[in-house]
Amino acid sequence: MILLLLAFKSLRSRIVTTSLTVFSIALSVMLLVGVDRVREGTQKGFQGTISHVDLVVGARGGSLPLLLYSVFHLGTANNDISFASYEHFRDHPAVKWTIPFSLGDSFHDFRVVATDDNFYDHYQYRGGQSVAFSAGTRAEGIFDVVLGSDVARQLGYHLGQQITLTHGIEGSFLNHKDKPFTVVGILTRTSTPVDRAIYITLYGDEAMHLGWEHGAPPLVAIPASQIRKEDLHIDQISSFLLATKSRISTLLLQREINTYKPEPLTAIIPALTLEDLWSVLSYADVALSLVSFAVLIVGLLAMLTALYTALNERRREVAVLRAVGLHARQIFTLFVLESTLISAVGMLAGLTAVYVLLFALRVPIETNFGIPLAVVGISTRVAIYMVVVVVAGSLLGCIPAIRAYRNALVDGLNAG
Amino acid sequence: MPDAVHMQNVVFGYEPGNPILQIDDLRIAEGKRVFLYGPSGSGKTTLLGLITGILQPQQGTCEVLGKEMTRLSMSARDTHRGSEMGYIFQSFNLIPYLSVRQNIDLPCRVHERRRKRIIAPTLGQETIRIAERLEIAGVLDRGVKKLSTGQQQRVAIARAVIGRPSLVIADEPTSSLDTDRRERFLELLFEVCDEANATLIFVSHDRSLMTRFDEQISIADVNHLNQVRMVQA
């Protein structure tokens, strides 16, 4: 106990060196744990985006792009699928429900998602939470629009406001000025990509593009007031989410969709595709972790240097402690305690900083980069890191401690 | 009267085969104030190292306060020193990062036996009591770096006598003080050693102080090797 007090007081008397050392260790722990937490946070965030969806179906193509554009609204859909194929599987006996998506338009960098009532009825995230409204109702009319919570908050829109959607994505000069939409609902915050999307009906999407069959605005536009649902015919959608009645039929259904004769389709199991994504990203994770480890080693070496250089001017102190009756091995313990304290405090400071930053930056990261980031607890890996940092600190502390021990024996009461 | 220190046929050298200290018989009686003198390099500090158990003789026996040091393990000697002896250095006696109070009560915090022998009911009160005797009560909660040399040496006395050790050893404690302060320092040291019933071994090359002691020992008389060497020189 007296040794702990001595170690603490001694470190405090060298407050500048001590805090710099603690800071460098904290920084490296922050990097090390930060990389790991962001990795797990993104995984959890992505995994929480949809739940109870067994298959994601789109045009024939890569499974990862399909998942990214359908669920996370990242990237673009290359090909559409026919509404007839969608209807075929929507009415398939093994299917419980489906959510169709038609993507391609944007509004102030937010994606426009055309869907139907099934989205509000069936879409679930974070293990069973449904989308809810903070104001208004779901989009029913052709020119109705529902805003995700981030969209409404960032643009400051309210119910009843009229908005014009942009054709295509990102800074397109083509817009749908002739067909303004009215905000009828605002969703509550979900912390998923839903917050950054704008929801219209499939009819609305169709109406907006009436006469755009060649990818350019029609020469003679049909006025919005004259468009009725009955006149609109939905031909294509981008993709759809699907839940089966029994999980067992998922694989059979996936095979059936992938070999569907009338149209080349791709059906993916979202969880498996996410696993593929993580295995791709694990290289980056390993590289970043290695860099963090290197920084940790530098931090620990900085501590070693600081403790070692202080040894000479502390010979006098050691002689006094020996005169008071401290054993040479207690001198050793005192020095090891100092390095252990430094690394423990540095470790805790780094860990705290990670969580403070994660908590503070979660929303900006999600808003600006579209990466859902869950706040995750301490994993086994982080626990191992924590132990490693403190143990490595103590072990490195043995080097000056051994030196101090030897000095104590050689100097006896003569030092100074 | 039993001996506080009794050394017989002791031979010691820092390197094997090169002894620098050889003592046939040295006794220091309990409760005495002993003045140990000799020129620098005559082996004073080495002798103190043997008495405190920091050093072990290559030959001979060295009984200190009833314990045969040559038969004790290193840590047993450390414990014996810490709980039964107080030590005052020439200078820089204090742990720089502890307050005056923490410097004084350090031996009682390290050794239970010294803590049990305090006179006042609590350690805090004992520290104040001793500090008052040594006229340093006003600086108890200060950092040691702000003290004058005289104050620092009195803090060193306080630490040496707290918990009433049987033996107080002072290694040139007055050499950093001027003549007036030297007298006062000695008076205070005698007072508190008497109160603790401690034997005092006072090492100095300044013979002007030696008449104040019960017994005077010249290292040159005791250390045969030193004599031989001096004769040769």
Domains of chain A by residue range:
2-46+281-411, 55-268
- Cβ <8 Å between B89 and A413: yes
Place of tokens 């620990």: A300
CA atoms within 13 A on the CB side of A214: 4
Least CB–CB distance from A324: residue in B74, B97, B110: B110
Dist CA B76 CA B66 (whole Å): 13
Mutate to test the interface with B, among A6, A14, A413, A414 (most CBs of B within 10 A): A413
A12 touches chain B (CB under 8 A): yes
For the residues A62-73, what does the mean pLDDT come to? 88
What's the mean pLDDT when you consider all of chain B? 88
* A309 min Cα distance to partner chain B (Å): 17
pLDDT tens digits, one per residue of A219-240 = 666 666 667 777 778 888 999 9
How close is the nearest chain A Cα to the Cα of B93, in Å?
Answer: 7
Chain A to chain B, count of Cβ pairs less than 8 Å apart?
69
Nearest to B95 among A12, A317, A328 (CB): A317
> Mutating which of B95, B105, B145 best tests the A interface, going by the most A Cβ atoms within 10 A?
B95
Q: What is the total residue count of chain B?
A: 233
Quick check: B89 and A329 CB within 8 A?
Answer: no
* pTM score of the predicted model: 0.73
Q: Which residues pair with B85 in a beta bridge?
A: B167
Outline where chain B has alpha helix (H): 44-52, 74-84, 100-110, 112-116, 123-133, 149-161, 179-195, 219-222, 224-232
Domain B3-232, architecture per CATH: 3-Layer(aba) Sandwich (3.40)
Q: How distant is the Cα of A316 from the closest Cα of chain B, in angstroms?
A: 7
* Contact check, Cβ <8 Å, B111/A13: no
Supply the pLDDT for residue A98. 94
Task: Yes or no: say if A107 and A166 are a contact pair by the CB < 8 Å rule.
Answer: yes
CA–chain centroid gap for B225, Å, is: 24
Confidence band of A413 (pLDDT split at 50, 70, 90): confident
Contact A327 B79 (CB under 8 A): yes
- pLDDT by 10s per residue, chain B, length 233: 688 999 999 999 888 788 888 889 999 999 999 999 888 777 888 899 999 999 999 999 999 998 999 999 999 999 999 999 999 988 878 899 999 999 999 999 999 899 999 888 999 999 999 999 888 988 998 888 888 888 999 999 999 999 999 999 998 888 888 888 888 899 999 999 998 899 999 998 888 888 999 999 988 888 877 544 444 43
Give the tens place of pLDDT for each residue, A196-214: 899 999 988 888 777 666 6
